[in-house]
Structure 1
């Protein structure tokens, strides 16, 4: 996209509100950058109780790493919940910066301060937070936290400090507070990485600044920013591997021409006059990625802002490169000149990525690689600036657990990281070789690259004692971890009484000591074995991976859900075992396995006839309809896919795997459940992914993918296919709207489908995949339309009279519809 440039020098933003409080001080003063800080005792206008319930204290000692004595050497200490109140311009966003220096204050030890910080809008900034733990973990003397708050129509910001209730006395404290107006630099939306047609609108979101780098340059203090008082740090400590590229600075005489579409205060001129590039050797550049790694908090969505400014070249396709975020293609063939039309014009790109709570997902990766597809004149990539912002979750939360302190920092500083250097370089080179292909190919190797990430960081954590050392800075790499815990062997009493409890000895006897010869499946929870209990009862036994630290919640949820639910089209739970920290679930045995096995002829399973597939879809829809409407509360499955639809000996479909299921909202005014995003990519509801608001329509979307998968017999995601065909949902909708769906039907069933049945079936699946949940049918409507499609098929077949489970001449099972399909001939699909 071309951007018209205007010759202009950067203008400094003049904030309407600019409040800098030196908390606990009795006098105003200047910090090291010459900025004036006010004593928070001035007329007691900010503290809600005029300071009566708080203490003023001075730090016992001065740490040499402090950038200035102000605001760090005095503190306001709170023994009870206390609030600061700030009157602000309701038309502006505002920076909120909190400054902390852990020290002894009035004899109170730094480890005795643990507290929560929240705002009047219900936003939690810090929860049960220990400054002392955080600084020790990051080997820093002090910590600053920067947030960006949206407009407040009420015209005020209340900041509440709440000491954490504990058996011993705890306190809250603060050294400095900044509240300052800011311009609308978060204009959004950001492209969701991995979902090119999805965006995240963060213009009105609460944000926390995680990182801000002057890439290829040095530290830029707040006083040298464009009026926004931001600090920009050197990116060098975060460049991955030994291949760190080269830096270039155009110097102060180079004239940066800010474009009209970009605010002139997006970043200071010093950011845009310097870059980090890969170097001049095209052969070397094609075999590695220029990569940055940053620790982040799991279970949040992040916006990554990349700043570019071409300083040397002036024609398109001289330098083009691919941008990867977390080993997924964020943008292919990025060309700064093509974006801006000329040299010296800044531009930035925003990308959003969600970091789930999975092993290895607490590290954010940004990588650049020369474009292979465009064959540019120079195989190179550049970057001028990098910012990472965390978005609040649906509960109005930005807080994350404290990081773990480093136990072996000395070893790390003595060269352990150097020993890992050659290995990192080799792994990075290998990864770059694979990732240098097209966007579709990059998606395909994302899994491999992600495994490399996890393996590398696990190794590094063991070598460095679980943490990395970093240079001093107010936004170091985070290392927060949320680990699951193994089952304690004591399930809650209300769960343990719900179904049969098996001993571990019984489970070993049933599976011949978990013999590999009895494994019939492997999933995210663990292996599934066939077994025999009570002498002659065949069962399926799902055993959690003993070395895994995950799955406790899924284990408990599965027991709780299935013990309360009984339905013909839901798999039945017989019992469980939790002896010796095991997590084992015992189910009725499903003779014919999973629907997916039959679609792809796995394990010698015969391909299903069209009538059998349709009948299985109807059975699964019945099970899901029961979950949504038949139980006491709405139950949302959250992981509907063809591997979770099982078929018994009578070819009756049963929905399985309730480990991710959630009870829906029980209130009239709230139709969704706010929850972290979980599920299986390819089947995942895009609206749920964007908004983290789960509804029963999320299951409907996933079931729509299942319907098309049944029809086309191809996976929900196949990165080996051309880009437009990678996602089954996207490709099926394209074919449906172009009228070419009949051309991509599974050849084994193509001649079996009645034309009218195909129209109704495809129309139903298409409606399920509507982008907005409100536009999707209910599962009851889906069920009705599938039953009607079966009636159309039966009419076309002329009532063959074939019975359920019978096989045709090719060995494929064929099914007649049950008598409950109804006789209505008009569509209820909305």
Structure 2
């Protein structure tokens, strides 16, 4: 689970109506020391390393070489490798050595029964041994009854997310005293091999299981809830420090999680403002929110819509995360009012939307904390289903906030401190999704880009006030031409070697946006509102 540099232009249609806006500059950011949860046992394994003893990574973690560790029986039958390219931007530990498996291999870790974080580190470089080329590496990974990865390509995943290395994080419940982690090269590919650079095993409390039936997460769009049992496995899809900088594993509250900067996931031009907690505010965890849920660094920063009520009412503060179809997802939102003057009930009230469905209407952070005041963290859990469709094996999960004015709050605003998204295993114990398809890969040749016939695209029609009259005349001319032809022109697209251009009719635009429904507003910039819609069944 590594930060994704988002380029969402392949999935949606943007239609823009005229409105000018401005946003205030972001505030300075501060940090707060995190209290530590102390795990009973933790393992950081530097795979492929030959030297015995511990080595310290840039984040200050001590990594043990897998050779001679006692976790890797028969390791001599595997290959210790180093990447052919020593990228100076890549942390040396654990990414400058790798363990390669040409046949199925199992690491065995002695553990106490309970839930564990399992983190796998991959640097998909070619190796100094020319027999091992990154593009040939396809493999599966399993822990007991759970399939974590299937026919996985670290190279395709790194390219799709625009990262040099990949971290996959899972949470699994172990009922025995041994955690067996198996790597299996994909049998369908002749030269396939498995590899791993680093393995983390970190015990964790049951942060997902809710014994209280009233706190079981709601399935968005329904009146039903879903109980996350202690036997479920989860994969971390995104973990964001909203409004703040990256939080490193050693800055986490004892679980060695990495919290990414949320800016790469923001949608549209209107991204609100970020701010730290007031110096006079202390983060005070209630009994219902232990410190290990999220560190003070996460609750101590936030992103809000900004001070302009008119602007705020005309856009949604939106995040987008790409997920695999065919799974349920747990969406966890972290909130904490951390700055004056929002200290009382009905000062800031907002609606929460997930995938264009209302998750909560009229949410008030202060009211939810029983009026405990500033600095009291809370979190909300929701479940959303992405069914398998023929459209795409990967889809976008949207989280959006919008002011709720029904109670006439003091400020028309919304805020968020942290966002986590987890995939839940299916009925067979599987968490594995497909490798990213070509249309998701950022690094493409010109020819590859031209072949994306079935991608959805972002189209923008920007109406500045000085050009509004000309734009209206142009639309009138197009509509008159349509009527004369006696046809309803839904869209007309012209392709060139570098891009595809499309013209849309007014009726087509109104249909796609449900007559410019406010529920489909996903952002606003200096040039106008941003609507979400599809034309031609999602083909554009």
Q: Under TM normalisation by the shorter chain, which class is it?
A: 0.7 to 0.9
Give the TM-score normalised by the residue count of structure 1.
0.49
Of residues 407, 419, 431 in structure 2, which corresponds to 1:398? 431
2:416 matched to which residue of 1?
Answer: 383
1:36 matched to which residue of 2?
Answer: 62
Task: Give the Cα–Cα distance (whole angstroms) in 2 for the partners of residues 225 and 23 of structure 1.
Answer: 24
Cα pair 2:208 2:228 within 8 Å, conserved? no
TM-fit CA distance, 1:15 = 0.7
Cα pair 1:77 1:173 within 8 Å, conserved? yes
Give the TM-score normalised by the residue count of structure 2.
0.74
- Compared with structure 1, are the counterparts of its residues 422 and 60 closer, same or farther at alpha carbon in structure 2 (3 Å cutoff)? same
Partner-residue secondary structure (3-state), 1:177:
strand
Task: Give the Cα–Cα distance (whole angstroms) in 2 for the partners of residues 428 and 235 of structure 1.
Answer: 27
Please identify which structure carries the higher helix content. Answer: 1
- Compared with structure 1, are the counterparts of its residues 281 and 89 closer, same or farther at alpha carbon in structure 2 (3 Å cutoff)? same
Task: Give the Cα–Cα distance (whole angstroms) in 2 for the partners of residues 336 and 430 of structure 1.
Answer: 33
1:277 matched to which residue of 2?
Answer: 304
Of residues 427, 435, 452 in structure 1, which corresponds to 2:533? 452
Higher-Rg member (1/2): 1
Of residues 348, 359, 375 in structure 2, which corresponds to 1:344? 375
Q: What pairs with 1:609-624 in structure 2 (closer than 5 Å)?
A: none
After superposition, give the CA deviation of every residue in 1:747-803 in whole Å (9 maximum; x if it has no partner): xxxxxxxxxxxxxxxxxxxxxxxxxxxxxxxxxxxxxxxxxxxxxxxxxxxxxxxxx
Partner-residue secondary structure (3-state), 1:14:
coil
1:354 matched to which residue of 2?
Answer: 385
Task: Give the Cα–Cα distance (whole angstroms) in 1 for the partners of residues 366 and 186 of structure 2.
Answer: 53
Please identify which structure carries the higher strand content. Answer: 2
1:13 matched to which residue of 2?
Answer: 37
2:404 matched to which residue of 1?
Answer: 371
Matched, 1:229 2:251: no
Cα pair 2:142 2:181 within 8 Å, conserved? yes
Matched, 1:193 2:216: no
Task: Give the Cα–Cα distance (whole angstroms) in 1 for the partners of residues 33 and 97 of structure 2.
Answer: 39
1:219 matched to which residue of 2?
Answer: 246
TM-fit CA distance, 1:184 = 2.1
Task: Give the Cα–Cα distance (whole angstroms) in 2 for the partners of residues 455 and 15 of structure 1.
Answer: 53
Matched, 1:22 2:38: no
2:331 matched to which residue of 1?
Answer: 304
- Compared with structure 1, are the counterparts of its residues 457 and 153 closer, same or farther at alpha carbon in structure 2 (3 Å cutoff)? same
After superposition, give the CA deviation of every residue in 1:275-305 in whole Å (9 maximum; x if it has no partner): 1111112222112111111110000000000
If asked which structure has higher relative contact order (CA below 8 Å, sep 6+), I would say 2
Of residues 69, 92, 104 in structure 2, which corresponds to 1:69? 92
Matched, 1:138 2:219: no
2:179 matched to which residue of 1?
Answer: 157
Q: What pairs with 1:714-793 in structure 2 (closer than 5 Å)?
A: none
Partner-residue secondary structure (3-state), 2:155:
helix
After superposition, give the CA deviation of every residue in 1:404-443 in whole Å (9 maximum; x if it has no partner): 2437658899xxx99856669999998672469xxxxxxx
1:173 matched to which residue of 2?
Answer: 195
- Compared with structure 1, are the counterparts of its residues 218 and 424 closer, same or farther at alpha carbon in structure 2 (3 Å cutoff)? farther
Task: Give the Cα–Cα distance (whole angstroms) in 2 for the partners of residues 282 and 180 of structure 1.
Answer: 45
Cα pair 1:324 1:367 within 8 Å, conserved? yes
Of residues 59, 71, 75 in structure 2, which corresponds to 1:46? 71
Task: Give the Cα–Cα distance (whole angstroms) in 2 for the partners of residues 429 and 423 of structure 1.
Answer: 19
- Compared with structure 1, are the counterparts of its residues 135 and 95 closer, same or farther at alpha carbon in structure 2 (3 Å cutoff)? same
After superposition, give the CA deviation of every residue in 1:323-364 in whole Å (9 maximum; x if it has no partner): 111111111111000011221100000000000123377110
- Compared with structure 1, are the counterparts of its residues 159 and 419 closer, same or farther at alpha carbon in structure 2 (3 Å cutoff)? closer
After superposition, give the CA deviation of every residue in 1:339-395 in whole Å (9 maximum; x if it has no partner): 112211000000000001233771101011111322211111100000000000001
- Compared with structure 1, are the counterparts of its residues 234 and 291 closer, same or farther at alpha carbon in structure 2 (3 Å cutoff)? same
1:104 matched to which residue of 2?
Answer: 126
Aligned residue pairs total 431
Of residues 101, 105, 115 in structure 2, which corresponds to 1:93? 115
Task: Give the Cα–Cα distance (whole angstroms) in 1 for the partners of residues 457 and 137 of structure 2.
Answer: 37
- Structure 2: gaps spanning 5 or more residues: 1-31, 211-215, 450-455, 465-508, 522-529
TM-fit CA distance, 1:458 = 5.3
Task: Give the Cα–Cα distance (whole angstroms) in 1 for the partners of residues 280 and 443 of structure 2.
Answer: 46
1:557 matched to which residue of 2?
Answer: none
Partner-residue secondary structure (3-state), 1:98:
strand
Partner-residue secondary structure (3-state), 1:134:
helix
After superposition, give the CA deviation of every residue in 1:206-245 in whole Å (9 maximum; x if it has no partner): 0000001111111111111111111111111211111111
Task: Give the Cα–Cα distance (whole angstroms) in 2 for the partners of residues 255 and 409 of structure 1.
Answer: 48
Matched, 1:123 2:146: yes
TM-fit CA distance, 1:99 = 0.3
What's the C-alpha RMSD, in Å, of the aligned pairs? 3.0
Cα pair 2:266 2:320 within 8 Å, conserved? yes
Matched, 1:55 2:55: no
